[in-house]
Amino acid sequence: MACKTKQVGATSMDKIVYQPIKVETPKRPAGQTDVVNLVTPKLETVRVGFIGLGMRGPSAVQRFTHIPGAKIAALADIRPERVEKSQQILEKAGLARVPGYSGSQDAWKALCEREDVDLVYIVTDWETHVPMALYAMEQGKHVAIEVPGAMTMEDIWALINMAEKKRLHCMMLENCVYDYFELTSLNMAQQGLFGEVIHAEGSYIHSLDDFWKAYWNNWRLDYNAKHRGDVYPTHGMGPACQALDIHRGDKMNYLVSFDTKPFKGKKLYEQLTGKNGDNFQNGDHTMTMIKTEKGKTMQIQHNVMTPRPYSRMYQLTGTQGFANKYPTQGYTIEPENISKDDVPNHENLNSHGFVPEDVKKALMQKYKHRIHIELEEQAKKVGGHGGMDFIMDYRLVYCLRNGLPLDMDVYDLAEWSCLVPLSKLSLENGSAPVEIPDFTRGAWNKVKKYRHAFVD
Ligand SMILES: NC(=O)c1ccc[n+]([C@@H]2O[C@H](COP(=O)([O-])OP(=O)(O)OC[C@H]3O[C@@H](n4cnc5c(N)ncnc54)[C@H](O)[C@@H]3O)[C@@H](O)[C@H]2O)c1
């Protein structure tokens, strides 16, 4: 059933052409232009205010105590004890306590209004990200927002419009693009080792059984109870979109989604809340497939319910090679695509098996990304998901201090987060195709190829 797709013409009884469900692209307000490759005046010191100090927030505060050129300027959480916990992190690091804001729903606003804050770093529950980010940008602050950046199309467009209007950075804190295997493989892809990358996969497959009870006010399970679709797509989307140069020469055109029923979700909700779970919306397993303008594909999955080993899938399929992270890390490279001088065992390479372990090691060393060469050692010491969180924060501060475009812009936030509302739309319409808007409104092909910016 393609209920709401539009029939655009039938050339014969057996050839009916349907179009994807169209979602509105609001007209760009007069006087605004896109913020692709946005650069803003260099900041000698990046003064950061944190909002949201629950499970994730304090680790960001901790990481920022190690970042050169960053200064923690203020802290906010609705719960005073959470602000206090982060003040203690500062004290332990030998730093002075900073102004703290708590005690009411909108106490964080005063943090955004402070003269001595350049960047507002938002680590609250999903539905509060956007009002906080909009208010902060209104006050002239750059913003960094935890994942997913926004949950509705209205909110996504509101962030884009505000970032364009104010010419400010609005970055989503997608850490997985800095993971060791992902970034090394991206470097290999960018240097042509896999030929042309034609298909990418990613996912968030992580049983949250140990975490559900720990979220403030049960926000995460409640959100899943109310919303069908892939509600946490960005850990898979980020690395996939970077490898496919999305809005740097290609763009996503449409998606289709499938989900299972909430077999476990319903029961879990009933157990944890004591409420009736008959109307629990989020399927236990959700899959989304995406087609790009250049004819490439992506597959993204979400499963936070059933027992399974953790997986972000991470897979790149190229015309001459292949990268795979879960459950087995490995590469397949056509022998002709790599020099005998670069790897041992060259004679054993083939197009139907993973390269031997020593070849993989040699490849990963040769294609280590510049970011990892520079930061790996310190990142491992500071930590945060094996170091990738530190690298994300470091890069954000480095780019702001040097007046460089950030690694992730507001359109990345939009593209990676839009699966939340658009997968829901597809599912609620019999898995019909749904158009993915060009969030850059015409600038998706301005930059050719995704690259990180450096001073030299
Ligand atoms: N990138 C990653 O690897 C990763 C990992 C974990 C969480 N996250 C993201 O981080 C965010 C927070 O997740 P969490 O696990 O820390 O949740 P959490 O429930 O532990 O923390 C949320 C915090 O926000 C605070 N808060 C809520 N409303 C507020 C308000 N009006 N003013 C001030 N503070 C308010 C709560 O008191 C709480 O301390 C989410 O967006 C989540 O998706 C990302």
Give the pLDDT score at 347: 86
* Residue 113, ligand 1, Cβ within 6 A: no
Count of structural domains within the chain? 1
What are the angstrom distances between the C-alpha of 116 and each of 43, 76, 98? 12, 15, 11
- Flag residues of the chain having pLDDT under 50: 1-4, 10
* Residue 354, ligand 1, Cβ within 6 A: no
Which CATH number fits the domain that encloses residue 319?
A: 3.30.360.10
Task: Give buried/exposed letters for 321-357 (b at 16+ CB in 10 A, else e).
Answer: bbbbbbeebbbbbbbebbeeeebeeeeebeeeebbee
* Residue 105, ligand 1, Cβ within 6 A: yes
* Residue 147, ligand 1, Cβ within 6 A: yes
Q: What is the pLDDT of residues 291-314, one digit of tens each?
A: 999 999 999 999 999 999 999 999
Task: With H, G, I as helix, E, B as strand and everything else as coil, classify residue 183.
Answer: helix
Sign of CA dihedral 82, 87, 88, 90: positive
Distance between CA atoms of residues 456 and 454, nearest Å:
6
Give the pLDDT score at 328: 96
Distance between CA atoms of residues 34 and 59, nearest Å:
33
Distance between CA atoms of residues 5 and 434, nearest Å:
8
Mutate to test the pocket of ligand 1, among 50, 53, 56, 109 (most ligand atoms within 8 A of CB): 56
Dihedral, 184, 190, 194, 197 alpha carbons, nearest 10 = 110
* Residue 216, ligand 1, Cβ within 6 A: yes
> Would you state the structure tokens that stand for residue 106, as one six-digit string?
């909108």
> What is the whole-number distance in angstroms between the Cα of residue 385 and the centre of ligand 1?
16
* Residue 56, ligand 1, Cβ within 6 A: yes
Q: Phi/psi at 162 (nearest 5 deg)?
A: -70, -45
170 assigned to some structural domain: no
- CB-based burial of residue 35 (10 Å sphere; 0-12 exposed, 13-18 middle, 19+ buried)? buried
Strands 119-122 and 197-205: unpaired
76 assigned to some structural domain: no
Give the pLDDT score at 2: 39
pTM for this entry: 0.96
CA 303 from chain centre, in angstroms, equals 16
> What is the whole-number distance in angstroms between the Cα of residue 133 and the centre of ligand 1?
14
**Structural domain boundaries enclosing 191:** 176-369+410-435
> What is the whole-number distance in angstroms between the Cα of residue 128 and the centre of ligand 1?
9
Q: Phi/psi at 234 (nearest 5 deg)?
A: -75, -25
Task: With H, G, I as helix, E, B as strand and everything else as coil, classify residue 181.
Answer: helix
Q: How many helices and strands (H and E) does the chain possess?
A: 14, 16
Strand order in the sheet with 46-51: 100-101, 70-76, 46-51, 119-122, 142-145, 170-172
* Residue 393, ligand 1, Cβ within 6 A: no
* Residue 53, ligand 1, Cβ within 6 A: yes
* Residue 20, ligand 1, Cβ within 6 A: no
200 assigned to some structural domain: yes
* Residue 51, ligand 1, Cβ within 6 A: yes
* Residue 55, ligand 1, Cβ within 6 A: yes
> Would you state the structure tokens that stand for residue 323, as one six-digit string?
């990268």
> What is the whole-number distance in angstroms between the Cα of residue 232 and the centre of ligand 1?
14
266 assigned to some structural domain: yes
* Residue whose CA lies nearest to ligand 1 atom number 7: 56
192 assigned to some structural domain: yes
189 assigned to some structural domain: yes
Distance between CA atoms of residues 395 and 169, nearest Å:
13
Strands 197-205 and 297-303: parallel
What are the angstrom distances between the C-alpha of 441 and each of 137, 320, 445? 21, 33, 11
Q: What is the pLDDT of residues 127-162, one digit of tens each?
A: 999 999 999 999 999 999 999 999 999 999 999 999
Distance between CA atoms of residues 99 and 82, nearest Å:
13
Residue 79 CA: which ligand 1 atom is closest? Answer: 37
DSSP string, 197-263: EEEEEEEEE---TTTGGGSGGGHHHHHHHH--S-SS-HHHHHHHHHHTTBTTTB-EEEEEEEE---H
Q: What is the pLDDT of residues 345-359, one digit of tens each?
A: 888 889 999 999 999
Residue 56 CA: which ligand 1 atom is closest? Answer: 16
Residue 100 contacts residue 83 (beta carbons within 8 Å) = yes
Residue 126 CA: which ligand 1 atom is closest? Answer: 41
Task: Give buried/exposed letters for 47-71 (b at 16+ CB in 10 A, else e).
Answer: bbbbbbbbeebbbbbbbbebbeebb
Task: With H, G, I as helix, E, B as strand and everything else as coil, classify residue 24.
Answer: coil
264 assigned to some structural domain: yes
> What is the whole-number distance in angstroms between the Cα of residue 455 and the centre of ligand 1?
33
Strands 6-12 and 330-333: unpaired
278 assigned to some structural domain: yes
